[in-house]
Amino acid sequence: METTKIKTLTEEQLARFAEDGYLLVKGLFTSDDVRVIEDTFEEMSHTPVPGYFEPDLSGATDDPLKRFPRVMHPHRFNDVAKQYMLHRPVLDILADLYGEEALAAQSMFYYKPPGSRGQALHQDNFYLQVEPGNCIAAWTAIDAANEENGGLLVVPKTGDYELSCPAEADSSESFTSHYVKPPKGEKAVPVAMDKGDVLFFNGNLIHGSYRNKTKDQFRRAFICHYANASSTHINGHYRPLYQADGTPVDRELNPDGGPCGIEFDVPFYH
């Protein structure tokens, strides 16, 4: 006899995600979960991992993001990162949002130290190129995130906004070069988050982050991206994907290079 999966999210939450393109879930990671992630990436911050994490440990740089760059794909070399990329409470919510199982495609860790630049507004599926379907991000606050320390910005109701070719970002404010202008009449709004909160948003939602204007606060975040199990294509930088039990699976390479019709010179990864 076939059993019906009990939904984790309410119908109101599902409707909110469909309308706004994002959903904030409070306290999805316990304080113990957050502490394990904190400790793991604090230890990692002192040791370069070529190709994934390459900090400047010389003490000679004025750019805090050179000393604390983001960690790319830590699940490929760290068991704790892979464990939390496949965190069951996250996967249960993703299954509700997708209406099917999710496949994990990417993990990242942002230290975002005091004084560091933010990230200009952009759309994730421009880079992941999940088809058919879409990617969904699970953005977990390891520190409380707000307007002062570089918290997230979202443009509500752009979850169904078509993927746009980016313009050039302001390099004095953004550490990435792409900028997607919000639709006419729409603007970015802040999302305040506490430790352990998770913001889920789909790959078309326009979003970014503030500069960290504080002098003594990091704004650490553990961020993962997922694809719907029925997808058939994804950008090659996100292969292989992973099922909930950690089994790797593959999807066809999406060769389109985004809607601008050219391949990217430098992989963006998010």
First to last CA, the chain: 42
- The 10 Å Cβ neighbour count of residue 265 is 5
Q: Where are the domains of the chain?
A: 11-47+60-253
Residue 191 exposure: Cα atoms within 13 Å on the Cβ side: 25
Distances, alpha carbon 181 to alpha carbons 122, 171, 209, in Å: 8, 16, 14
User: Measured between alpha carbons, how far is 106 from 72 in angstroms, rounded to an integer?
Assistant: 8
Cα–Cα distance between 60 and 46 in angstroms, integer? 16
For the entire predicted model, the pTM comes to 0.93
Q: What is the pLDDT along the chain (270 residues), one digit of tens a residue?
A: 444 566 899 999 999 999 999 999 999 999 999 999 999 999 999 999 999 999 999 988 899 999 999 999 999 999 999 999 999 999 999 999 999 999 999 999 999 999 999 999 999 999 999 999 999 999 999 999 999 999 999 999 999 999 999 999 999 999 999 999 999 999 999 999 999 999 999 999 999 999 999 999 999 999 999 999 999 999 999 999 999 999 999 999 997 655 554 443 444 444
Q: What is the distance of C-alpha 195 from the center of its chain?
A: 16
Strand ranges inside 142-202, DSSP E: 152-154, 167-168, 178-179, 189-191, 198-202
Q: How far is CA 48 from CA 45, 132, 199, 203, in A?
A: 7, 36, 29, 30
> Rounded distance, CA 122 to CA 112, Å?
18
What residues does 83 pair with on adjacent strands? none
Four-way CATH pick for 11-47+60-253: 3.90.1150.10, 1.10.3720.10, 2.60.120.620, 1.10.287.110: 2.60.120.620
Kindly tell me the burial class for residue 261, based on how many C-beta atoms sit within 10 Å of its own C-beta (0-12, 13-18, 19 or more): exposed
